[in-house]
Structure 1
Amino acid sequence: MRIGEVARRSGVSVRALRYYEEQGLLTSDRTPGGHREYAADAVDRVRFYQQLYAAGLPSRRIAELLPCIDTGTTTAEQRAMLDAERARLQGRIAELTDALARLDELVAAAEARPA
């Protein structure tokens, strides 16, 4: 699949895909004309990277996780990193859940007041 198609289907820019390649997160083959060709799983992989970025993981950390993603196995060091990232995300989820509950209280209070 060509770079434009991967970009369109995954919702990222062509520039982002090139950046992922520079960071070692994504690979492509080159056609005889020099165009990038990506494997069929590139769209899912890019979407997953986007989720990890949104969760606050930098590209360096994602690159460290690639062997885990590709093989489904981890070293003790990788497992510790995964556990730490999971705990960090769980803490952030708790903070966001608390913020959401407080906003719900404000909305309920505003709706209870006559206009």
Structure 2
Amino acid sequence: MQVGDLAKQSGASIRSLHYYEQMGVLQARRQPNGYREYDEQAIERVRWIRKLLGLGLSLEDIRLLAPCFERNEAGEPLCSAAVAKYQRKLAEIDEQMRELQELRERIQRYLKTASPQEKEMYL
């Protein structure tokens, strides 16, 4: 299938598909006319890439962990590198949540001490 068809079926933009290929997480064959040609598995691969991006992994992470995820799709457990990456991502998220909670509390304290005019200015 050509890139436009893959874009429609996977929900990704053509530009994203070209970028995924450039980053080494998606492969295409070149036809004699230079057009990219993708196999049917490319649809699921792009959906998988987008899902992992949605989980906060980078394309570099995905490229490095691809062999682990491919084994997992075959029903095998995630490799230790993938598990470690997910654990680090969870730790990052926990830290971001802690920082946001602290910011929220500081803003609440400020609003409690602000004058009525200041409060109105921020609402």
TM-score by length of 1: 0.67
State yes or no: 1:53 paired with 2:59: no
CA-based RMSD of the aligned residues comes to 2.5
Return 5+ residue gaps in structure 1 as ranges: 92-115
Match of 1:15 in 2: 15
Task: Note the alpha carbon deviations across 1:53-108, whole angstroms, 9 max, x for none.
Answer: 111111111111111123346654444224444x45996xxxxxxxxxxxxxxxxx
Cα separation, partners in 2 of 1:52 and 1:89, compared to 1, 3 Å: farther
Cα separation, partners in 2 of 1:37 and 1:62, compared to 1, 3 Å: same
1:31 maps to a residue whose letter is Q
Contact 1:55 1:89 in 2 (8 A): no
Contact 2:9 2:43 in 1 (8 A): yes
Describe how 1:1-115 pairs up with structure 2 within 5 A. 1-72=1-72, 76-85=80-89, 87-88=90-91
Distance 1:13 1:40 in 2: 17
Which region of structure 1 is more displaced relative to structure 2, 72-81 or 31-40? 72-81
Give the greater-gyration-radius structure (CA). Answer: 2
Match of 1:95 in 2: none
Contact 2:3 2:37 in 1 (8 A): yes
